[in-house]
Amino acid sequence: MRFYRHALAALAIASWAVLPGSSSAQRLTFPPTAALQSSGISPLLLGAELKSAAIRARWLDPVALPVGPGCDGRDEFAIRIELSGEPVAAMAMADTSGKIEEIIIAADSLDRARTADSAACLDLAKGFASKFSAALGPYPSISSAQKPATVEYRLNFASGPSVRARWFRGGGHCDFALYIVRDGD
């Protein structure tokens, strides 16, 4: 019973905070909503210092792992959140100076879809991209590339980000994600 009272007291204290420089209490919302923009998801923004941005982003996903080396050797941080009504996994990668240079946002509910053909994969990517058009604007161009094992598409938003989709001929798998990268990447 004692633990229960302490837990309730901690919860009550955590749900109210006094802002610095203010004498009034303001209710904190948990988790705060993520704001998508052409430079990332606040606070994971291109050019931001990854470690401090990751600390601020922990409010979005309290169980996220700390910044660590990713599969390509760059430091990265990943969170699972809801963005524009879509459950997503967002990963921010840093350059050698620790600044965020790339953010990849993938549908959390659909890592790799099985589709009959590349047109069906493109339709899934268009549906995913349309969820972000309110924040990023329209995607006026779609490009494609035929590669030996894949058909790849890019849905380019006018504001810079792009949804990239790949359909794998051998297994009929489709994957897609929103990429936000520094200019020139």
93, 102 Cβ separation under 8 angstroms: yes
Distance CA 44, CA 177 (A): 16
Q: Is the pLDDT of residue 143 over 60?
A: yes
| CA 123/CA 23 separation, integer angstroms | 52
Q: Over range 60-67, report the average pLDDT.
A: 90
Q: What pLDDT does 47 receive?
A: 97
Prediction pTM value = 0.79
Residue pLDDT, tens place only, 69-116:
988 899 999 999 988 888 899 999 999 999 999 999 998 865 568 888
Check residue 9 and give its pLDDT: 37
CA dist., res. 54 & res. 5, Å (int): 32
Q: By mean pLDDT, which of 66-70, 106-110, 123-127, 137-141 is the weakest?
A: 106-110
Amino acid 110: pLDDT: 59
**Is the pLDDT at 177 greater than 80, yes or no?**
yes
More confident residue, 33 or 69: 69
